Amino acid sequence: MKEKIDQLFENEAQLPKISSVVSKVMEMVGKPDVVIADLAKEISKDPGLTAAVIKLSNSAYFRPAKPVKTVQESLMTLGIKTVKDIILLNETKGILKKELKGYQVDGESNWMHSLIVAELAKRIAVQKKLKVDKDVVFTAGLLHNIGKVILADFFPTVLMQFRAELQTYEGPYTDLEAKYFGYTHQEAGAKLLAKWNFPEELIEVARYYTEPEKATQFPELVSIIHIANCIVLLGGMGIDIGGLKIPLSSKALQNVGVTEGDLQMYYTLLPEMVKHIEELISV
């Protein structure tokens, strides 16, 4: 099975992909001297992306003071990093809403899970006054489990054995992913983001969000996403074939300074966040 997945990564035409315009925009946003007019010009090369940016910029989620009519107005009103989030959200929607039948998660549930993790992670970073870029936190939360999209297509041939062994297996289900596929979904996700030339911090989140104690470069960011993911799963959103087998890491809580009281507060915020996110995806 591993050989088949290796072949998939070697044949990039079969991998989920992002457009050349989005890749260029991600590269431009990462530069401190990026010019808004240049960025607007690049985004406007893609009519569909342009329409999506304007539409989402006017959503109740972002609540602009006045209607946004152009990409440049969006960049000036909401800020470059927020528009980057909008672009990435629009670009990955089709990928993250894919049916993950092997994981026993429908596309809508996985998409909502990713969005809520991103939103909660951003709120944790703000509430704990952490020195991480809030847009990076949102992006990391959005993409944390993207590797499942890769492995889901390989599940049908091993699903019965996988499910049977999972019933009595007491370790993390990612060990079974490695056994049956030669990859965990974290490894697959990190490999995909590397193929997309995404920043190292996003790759490390994808690789270690279930094992934050192994993160070496960006432990704080990885820990934020780990905590958010665990809380959202506990809230019943995006639970897959592994159920609740990802334990909440005490190291992650220590890295971020999250207390038991914080955890309870974050959990109570979930219904309000779901409503907030629905304002974003209803446009």
Summarised one tens digit per residue, pLDDT across range 211-240 is 999 999 999 999 999 999 999 999 988 888
Query: In this model, does residue 283 exceed pLDDT 70?
Result: no
Question: What are the Cα distances from residue 113, in Å, to 2, 8, 47, 141, 229?
Answer: 28, 26, 28, 9, 8
Question: In this prediction, what percent of the chain has a pLDDT beyond 70?
Answer: 99
Q: Quick one: pLDDT band at residue 200, thresholds 50, 70, 90?
A: very high
Q: Quick one: pLDDT band at residue 146, thresholds 50, 70, 90?
A: very high
Say how many C-beta atoms besides its own lie within 10 A of residue 106's C-beta.
15
Query: In this model, does residue 77 exceed pLDDT 70?
Result: yes
Q: Quick one: pLDDT band at residue 257, thresholds 50, 70, 90?
A: very high
Cβ proximity of 147 and 192 under 8 Å = yes
Q: Which domains does the chain have, with CATH numbers?
A: 1-12+97-282 (1.10.3210.10)
pTM over 0.75: yes
Q: Quick one: pLDDT band at residue 80, thresholds 50, 70, 90?
A: very high
Q: What's the whole-number mean pLDDT along residues 153-180?
A: 88
What's the rounded Cα separation, in Å, for the pair 255 and 240? 27
CA nearest to 112, candidates 278, 282, 279: 278
Question: What are the Cα distances from residue 282, in Å, to 56, 59, 60?
Answer: 10, 8, 9
Determine whether 248 is exposed, middle or buried from the number of CB atoms within 10 Å of its CB (0-12, 13-18, 19+): middle
pLDDT for res 242: 77
Cβ proximity of 247 and 213 under 8 Å = no
Structure tokens of 102? 């092997």
Q: Quick one: pLDDT band at residue 195, thresholds 50, 70, 90?
A: very high
